[in-house]
């Protein structure tokens, strides 16, 4: 039986925790968090930036446990990855569990495969309070019809 999204404590090394933690470490390095020097402070800085408990970040990087859903959500924002990718990489859910809805990339003609500025804002996780502005700006750069 698959673990639910809220579960995570007690996950062992054989279930993808090592690979997931290594992926998070690489994301941290790419974002400039110093996790390689003893006094770099990257783990604490990431936790502070994400607004999560430092112990949760430490347990993940020490391969002791998976973060909970809220911690993953916050880390995803700071590490500039989608929550979908975070959940799939963690092994909690699969690509089949989280299909890209509305993905028309391989269907129909090129015109049909274009998404609207509203859908682009949603897919890019533009904050709700900024979506209207985003859509107005994007529409200025589009040919008539308004699709990306």
Q: Check residue 101 and give its pLDDT.
A: 66
Kindly report, residue by residue over 84-123, the tens digit of the pLDDT.
Answer: 899 999 998 888 888 876 544 444 444 445 678 888 888 8
Q: Check residue 102 and give its pLDDT.
A: 54
Kindly report, residue by residue over 23-45, the tens digit of the pLDDT.
Answer: 999 999 999 999 888 887 899 99
The DSSP line for the chain is -PPPTT--TT--GGGTHHHHHHHHHHHHHHTT---SSTT--HHHHHHHHHT--HHHHHHHHTTS----HHHHHHHHHHHT--HHHHHHHHTSS-TTTS--TT--TTSS-TTTTPPPHHHHHHHTT--HHHHHHHHHHHHHTSPTT---
Over 80: is that where the pLDDT of 22 sits? yes
């Amino acid at each position: 039986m698959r673990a639910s999204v809220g579960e995570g404590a007690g996950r062992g090394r054989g279930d993808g925790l090592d690979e997931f933690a290594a992926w998070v470490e690489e994301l941290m390095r790419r974002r400039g968090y110093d996790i390689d020097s003893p006094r770099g402070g990257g783990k604490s800085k990431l936790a502070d930036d994400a607004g999560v408990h430092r112990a949760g970040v430490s347990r993940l990087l020490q391969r002791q446990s998976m973060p909970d859903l809220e911690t993953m959500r916050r880390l995803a924002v700071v590490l500039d990855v989608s929550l979908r990718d975070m959940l799939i990489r963690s092994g909690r859910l699969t690509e089949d569990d989280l299909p890209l809805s509305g993905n028309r990339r391989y269907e129909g003609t090129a015109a049909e495969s274009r998404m609207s500025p509203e859908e682009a804002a949603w897919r890019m996780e533009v904050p709700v309070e900024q979506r209207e502005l985003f859509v107005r700006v994007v529409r200025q750069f589009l040919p008539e019809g308004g699709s990306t």
